[in-house]
Amino acid sequence: MHTIEFSMPDKPDPKAPAGTPTEDRPVLHRFEETPEGFRWREIELLQYKPEGTHFKGITRQALFNRPDEIPAALRYFEIEPGGYSSFEKHRHVHAVMILQGRGRVLVGDSVYDVAPFDLVYIPSGKWHQFRADDDAPLGFLCLVASDRDRPECPGEEDIAVIRSIPGLDAFVRL
């Protein structure tokens, strides 16, 4: 892993907050492409959501989540071909970068085709849903603030609106 090993004395930084942990964490998480999808060494594969909401075929990996160091979390989600994320909204925003595959994303009143490295900004309060194409997975990074509200699912009234708009009704999975 290391190509060179040498010892440069690290002098303690007098300005560092007491107890700053810097020593006991791996510097490198090596990427691995597997038949089951993208993986990173020593990073746990997690359930997409602990509670039951309507989604299909998603994995989640918390790539960086140390709120004491950066008050934001960088997660990787991978949706299997034909799968989708929950249709939801919340006050916090998402900053997304597509990493692999193909799919579409609904944001507010529009649907966008997405491809690797495209950036998607999901504003506060907008309904949104990601869908992978039927013949490809959709993998993406999603950056959120550590301090954020819980997602809201559509109520009966919202569902009635969705059902009344053909383009929306055809896209949304509930």
Residues numbered 109-128 forming contacts with a copy of itself, rule: CB under 8 A: 109-127
Q: Is there a contact between 86 and 53 (Cβ–Cβ < 8 Å)? A: yes
Tokens of 25: 């964490």
Query: Which residues between 1 and 30 bind a copy of itself (CB under 8 A)?
Result: 1-10, 12-13, 15-16, 20, 22-23, 25-30
Structure tokens belonging to residue 100: 């692999």
Of 25-64, which residues contact a copy of itself (CB under 8 A)? 25-31, 38, 40, 43, 63-64
Q: For residue 147, give every residue at least 6 positions away whose Cβ sits within 8 Å of its Cβ, in sequence order, or none.
A: 67, 71
Residue 163 binding a copy of itself, by CB under 8 A: no
Q: How many residues at the interface with a copy of itself, by CB under 8 A?
A: 78
Q: Which of 45, 46, 161, 163 binds a copy of itself (CB under 8 A)?
A: 161
Least separation in angstroms between residue 58's CB and a copy of itself is 19
Burial track 58-79 (b if 16+ CB lie within 10 A, e otherwise): bbebeeeeeeeeeebbbbbbbb
User: Rounded to an integer, what distance in angstroms lies between the CA atom of residue 108 and that of residue 152?
Assistant: 14
Among 62, 93, 136, 174, indicate the residue that binds a copy of itself (CB under 8 A): 93
Q: Is 142 one of the annotated active-site residues of the chain?
A: yes
Q: Which of the residues 58, 107, 142, 172 is marked catalytic?
A: 142
Catalytically annotated residues: 142
